[in-house]
Amino acid sequence: MRFKRILLVKPSGRKGLSFAFDLIPIGLEYIAAYIEDAVDEVHIVDMELDRRKFQDIISLYCPDLVGISLSATEHNEALRLAKIAKKNGAMTVIGGYHPTSVPDLMLSYPQIDFVIRGEGEQTIRELIEHGTPENILGVSYKKNGIVLHNDDRPKIENLDNLPFPARNLRQYQYKSQNRTTDNDVIVMSRGCNGSCSFCCEPSMSSGCLRFRSPENVMQEILEMAKYHQNKSINVMFADPNFIGNPSGVDRLCDLLIEHNLNIEFSALVRADAMAKYPDIVKKMCRAGILKFEMGIESPNPRDLKSTRKGITNGIHREAVKNIRENGGRPGGTFVIGLPDQTIDEIKAFPTYAKEIGLTAAAFGIATPFPGTGFYKELDEQGLIFEKNWDNFDEMHSVYKTKHLSKETVEEMATYCMAKFWNLDTFIDQEMVAQKRTMRKKTMVDFARERILNLGFMTNNGNELQKDNFGQHIKTFLDAYADPRVEKYTRTVGIHEVLDLKRLLRVLGAQKIQCSLSLDDVTVSFVFKTTSKTVEYIQVIYGRHDDSTINLDVDLKCLAEPHISNLLKTSAFLFSHNLSIKKIWSTFKLFAAIGTEVISSNLQTVHPQN
C-alpha cells in the first residue's frame, strides 16, 4: 500500500550549540521537494515554533506516514510525537544523525516503524512508493519482532539532480536575533573529509564529500531571494566544510558579486582552508560571505591531537588574520571538558580566543554522540553516566573526566563565555566591520544589539542551567572583571569606533559606574568620558567611590525571578545617586541618551542617501 499523505516533523527540544546552526529544517524541505510529485499531500511542521498541540495537527492533516528528523537532544520528544502518530493510525519513520547511529535502539520502541539511515530523499521516496521497507536500501525495520537492516544506500553523487528545498511549504517566519531580518539556509555540498573524533558527520556521510555546481547554487540563491521578496536576508551555508571545493567557492563568489544581492552570508569552515586560500577569503568577504565559524577546539596541541583535528595553533592565527584583514568576522568553537583537561587549561581558552583575534566564540562541553569514535571510546571505558538524551546538548557534562566534576565542567562553560564576551569583544567586532563599511555604528544601534545579545544569553542560560542558574550568574560575574578591557579601550578609543559625538557633547566629563550584584559578589563597569572622548572602560570587582553617576542592578531578579525582586531591583537602580550633583549628572546621562534615540529615529524615518 502506497503512502499518500505525508507529515514531516521537526521536534522541539533542540538546544545547546547545535541550536544556533540548525534553525531551519532544510533537510525536511529537501525531502518534501523530492517526494512532492509522488504523494497527494506533504506538510512540514516545526514544533519549535508551532503553537498547536501535535494531536490537533495530526487531526488536521490525517497523515498515513509521519516522518521525524531528530538529533540526540530530541530523542525523547520525537518518541512522544511518534506515539501520538501511532495512536492515530499513522506509520512512523525517523531519520537524521541520531537514528542513523542507533537504529536498533530506536526500533526497540513500539512507536517507531522504520529508520532511514543516511541521506533520506531517495530512500523515503521508495518507501512511499512501495509501501513496505523490504529490499529498500538504507532502511532498518522490524519484522516479527526482529530488527532487520537493509544494505546501506550509496551516497547521492550528483547533487545538482536534487530539486531545491520546498520553501513554499514553510508555515513559519524564521527571523534573525533582531526579529526583523529573515533567516534562511542553503548547502553547497554534503559530507566532510575531516576525521574529528567527536563529530557525527562521518557516520552520516562516511567521509564522502560531494559538491553542487556553483551555477546550481546560484540559481537556488536567486529563487531564495525571490521567495523573500528581495528583502535583506541573512543566509547560512550549512555545509560542514563549505570551502572543501575551493575552485567552486571561488566561482560562486564571482556569481554573487555579479548579481549584487541584498544578502549577508555566514559559513561553517575549516581553519586550515581559510589559512591556505587567502585570495578566496578576500573574495568571499567581497561577495557578502562575512561571518565564519571555525572549529578551533583548543589552544592545546594535546587536545588537537586527541580529537584528530589535523590543525595547529599557527593555522588558527593565519586563518583569523586572513578573515580580519578583509572585514570578515572570524568566529570559533571550543571544546571544553575533554577527558584530560584541567581548570587552568580551560580558563586559558577565552584568552587564547582573543589573542588570535576571534570576534565571536562559543564554548561547548565535549559531548560523546553515538556513532562517533569519541562515544565508542568512552562507552567502552564505562565513563558515560548520563542516561537522559535531553542533556546531550553540548552544555551539560555527561561523562566522567579525570580531573573535573560535572558541576565544574558546566561552570567552566559559563566562565569561558563571560571571559570572552566582554565589552572589548563587541568593540573589536565593530572595528573589524569598519574595514568594510567605512563608517561608525551609532550608539543606539550598538546598544540595541547588546540588549538582544543579553536577552539571548539570559534566556538560554536559564533554560539550560535552570536548576543552578544563580551559581552560574556568580561564575559569570567572577569571570567578567578583566583588566584587559581597560588596556584595550585606552588603546583603541571607543569614540573612534562608535559615533558618540552628540552623546559626549551633552554628557560631558563623567565617571559612570554601573554595578551588577548578586549576594556578596559585585562587578562594576566604569566609563570615563570627556566632552569628546571615552578615555577608558574598566570592568572591576567591587565599586569605585569617586564616580559621578551610579547605576546599581541587583541580579536576584534573574537568579530568582519574582515580582518582589523585580521591584527591589528597580528601587535599587538609583540608590547611590541621592546627592544634588549626582542627580544632575544622572539627568545629563538620560538627556544624552534621549538625544541619541531621537536622532536615530529621525534617521530611520528620513534616511540619508
Of 246-250, 502-506, 561-565, 566-570, the least confident: 566-570
Measured CA to CA in angstroms, residue 390 lies from 439, 469, 501 at distances of: 44, 18, 49
Category of 417 on φ-ψ map: left (φ > 0), alpha (ψ -120 to 50) or beta: alpha
In this predicted model, what pLDDT tens digit does every residue of 197-234 receive, in sequence order?
777 777 677 778 899 999 999 999 999 999 999 999 99
Q: CA angle at residue 590 from 438 to 434, to 5 degrees?
A: 10
Q: How far apart are CA 266 and CA 382, in angstroms?
A: 39
Q: Is residue 6 within 8 Å of 38, Cβ to Cβ?
A: no
More confident residue, 160 or 443: 160
User: Taking every pair of C-alpha atoms in the chain, what is the biggest distance, in angstroms?
Assistant: 85
Q: Is residue 195 within 8 Å of 241, Cβ to Cβ?
A: no
Check the CA dihedral 59-62-67-69 and report its sign. Answer: negative
Report the DSSP pairing between strands 263-269 and 233-237.
Answer: parallel
Write out the three cell numbers for 319: 586563518
CA 238 to chain centre: 11
Side chain identity at residue 200, one-letter code: C
pLDDT at residue 340 tops 90: yes
Q: How many C-beta neighbours within 10 Å does residue 590 have? A: 12
pLDDT at residue 84 tops 80: yes
Q: Where are the alpha helices (DSSP H) in 465-514?
A: 469-480, 483-492, 501-507
Three-class SS state of 198? coil
pLDDT at residue 52 tops 90: yes
Q: How far apart are CA 452 and CA 17, in angstroms?
A: 18
Q: Does domain 173-420 have CATH number 3.20.20.70?
A: yes
pLDDT at residue 567 tops 50: no
Give the residue from 375, 271, 273 showing the smallest Cα distance to 331: 271
pLDDT for res 20: 59
Give the residue from 333, 358, 319 showing the smallest Cα distance to 199: 333
In this predicted model, what pLDDT tens digit does every residue of 477-535 receive, in sequence order?
989 999 999 999 999 999 999 999 999 999 999 999 999 988 889 999 999 999 999 99
pLDDT for res 429: 93
**Residue 184: its H or E element:** strand 182-186
Q: CA angle at residue 26 from 25 to 28, to 5 degrees?
A: 70
Write out the three cell numbers for 592: 544624552
Burial category of 576 from C-beta neighbours within 10 Å (exposed 0-12, middle 13-18, buried 19 and up): middle
Q: How many C-beta neighbours within 10 Å does residue 27 have? A: 21
Q: In what order do the strands lie in the sheet with 329-336?
A: 182-186, 233-237, 263-269, 289-297, 329-336, 360-365
Q: Where are the alpha helices (DSSP H) in 2-70?
A: 17-20, 26-35, 54-61
Three-class SS state of 409? helix
More confident residue, 451 or 560: 451
Q: Is residue 21 within 8 Å of 268, Cβ to Cβ?
A: yes
Q: Is residue 377 within 8 Å of 306, Cβ to Cβ?
A: no
Give the residue from 274, 245, 267 showing the smallest Cα distance to 357: 274
Q: Which fold has domain 466-605?
A: Nonspecific Lipid-transfer Protein; Chain A (3.30.1050)
Q: How many C-beta neighbours within 10 Å does residue 579 have? A: 10
Q: Is residue 410 within 8 Å of 471, Cβ to Cβ?
A: no
What homologous superfamily does CATH list for 5-149? Answer: Cobalamin-binding domain (3.40.50.280)
The model's pTM is 0.90
Listed ranges 248-257, 365-374, 459-468, 586-595; the one with the highest mean pLDDT = 248-257
Q: Which residues of 460-483 are buried (b: 16+ CB within 10 A; e: fewer)?
A: ebeebbeeebbbbbbbbbbbbbbe
pLDDT for res 508: 96
Q: How far apart are CA 255 and CA 215, in angstroms?
A: 8
Torsion angles phi and psi, residue 91, rounded to 5: -85, 155
Question: For the chain, how many helices (H) and strands (E)?
Answer: 25, 21
Q: Is residue 103 within 8 Å of 115, Cβ to Cβ?
A: yes
Residues with Cβ within 8 Å of 402's Cβ and at least 6 positions away in sequence, in order, are 339, 340
Write out the three cell numbers for 47: 514544533
Locate the domains of the chain by residue range: 5-149, 173-420, 466-605
pLDDT for res 102: 95
Q: How far apart are CA 516 and CA 543, in angstroms?
A: 10
pLDDT at residue 243 tops 70: yes
Average pLDDT, the chain: 90
Q: What percent of the chain has pLDDT over 70?
A: 90
Q: Assign 559 a pLDDT band (cuts: 50, 70, 90).
A: low
